[in-house]
Amino acid sequence: MAAPLISPSILSADFARLGEEVRAIDEAGCDWIHVDVMDGHYVPNLTIGPGVVKALRPHTAKPFDVHLMVSPVDNWLEAFAEAGADIITVHPEAGPHVHRTVQAIKGLGKKAGISLNPATPAKMLDYLIDDIDLVLVMSVNPGFGGQSFISSQLRKIEAVRKMIDKTGRAIHLEVDGGVDPTTARQCVDAGADVLVAGSATFKGGPGCYAANIAALKGPEGVSA
């Protein structure tokens, strides 16, 4: 089994040194950079906008994995695409026509993801799975970093993995929330191939990032 891709959430980085932090996790061996965008409306927190994404883009060539926790979401797609997002992930509850939102992301030349909150069933993907590139299962309620993993989401990861396998398409299955070396193994065993980790990546400072990422990847070896 290949090691999972690791997408550190910069929500847990030192915001006073974001450019340096992005370079540090890049050099430490991360695969993607996860950018949590929150609007204080769809989720109870306020984070960063497209201007920050644009400022960070020159600091790494790694894919920017942008998770939009904003509503209405369609108004922001073009701005984040132009800022340098490679993957844009949205919640089906964040706009009136999520299929149209997916089409708009693809029309901007970006990969499209759908995020499922803990109470959002896997069945929500029934009429979207053939059009998307990524499914993000939230294993905490979105809005804040540092929360504990909700173990019931392992069943959802398993269900989504079966749905993906039936399509025969190369769709990533990502998990975000409470991911540490222990829960990372559980997520991978359930079918995840991308892990978002904020606190578990950034703990201990830059000198620890490579070891933290290696611990999340586990014994499977170098990711494909």
Looking up residue 102, the CATH number of its domain turns out to be 3.20.20.70
Cβ-proximal residues to 138 (8 Å cutoff; 6+ apart), any chain? 115, 116, 117, 118, 153, 176, 177
φ, ψ at 61 (rounded to 5°): -95, -5
The single-letter DSSP state of residue 31 is: S
Question: Is 15 annotated as ligand-binding?
Answer: no
- The one-digit pLDDT tens for each residue of the chain (224 residues) are 689 999 999 999 999 999 999 999 999 999 999 999 999 999 988 999 999 999 999 999 999 999 999 999 999 999 999 999 999 999 999 999 999 999 999 999 999 999 999 999 999 999 999 999 999 999 999 877 778 999 999 999 999 999 999 999 999 999 999 999 999 999 999 999 999 999 999 999 999 999 999 999 998 644 43
Looking at the annotation, which residues are catalytic? 36, 176
Total structural domains in the chain? 1
Helices 209-217 + 18-27 axis angle, to 10: 50
Residue span of the structural domain in which 212 resides: 5-220
Alpha helices in 75-152 (DSSP H): 77-83, 98-107
Using DSSP bridges, classify how beta strands 64-69 and 5-8 pair: parallel, antiparallel or unpaired: unpaired
| 199 to 12, 108, 128: CA distances (angstroms) | 6, 32, 31
Question: Is 9 annotated as ligand-binding?
Answer: yes
CB-CB neighbours of 171 under 10 Å: 22
Q: How many Cα atoms sit within 13 Å of 46 on the Cβ side?
A: 2
Question: Is 67 annotated as ligand-binding?
Answer: yes
The sheet that has 87-90: what strands, in order across it? Answer: 5-8, 194-197, 172-176, 134-138, 111-116, 87-90, 64-69, 33-38
Question: Is 113 annotated as ligand-binding?
Answer: no
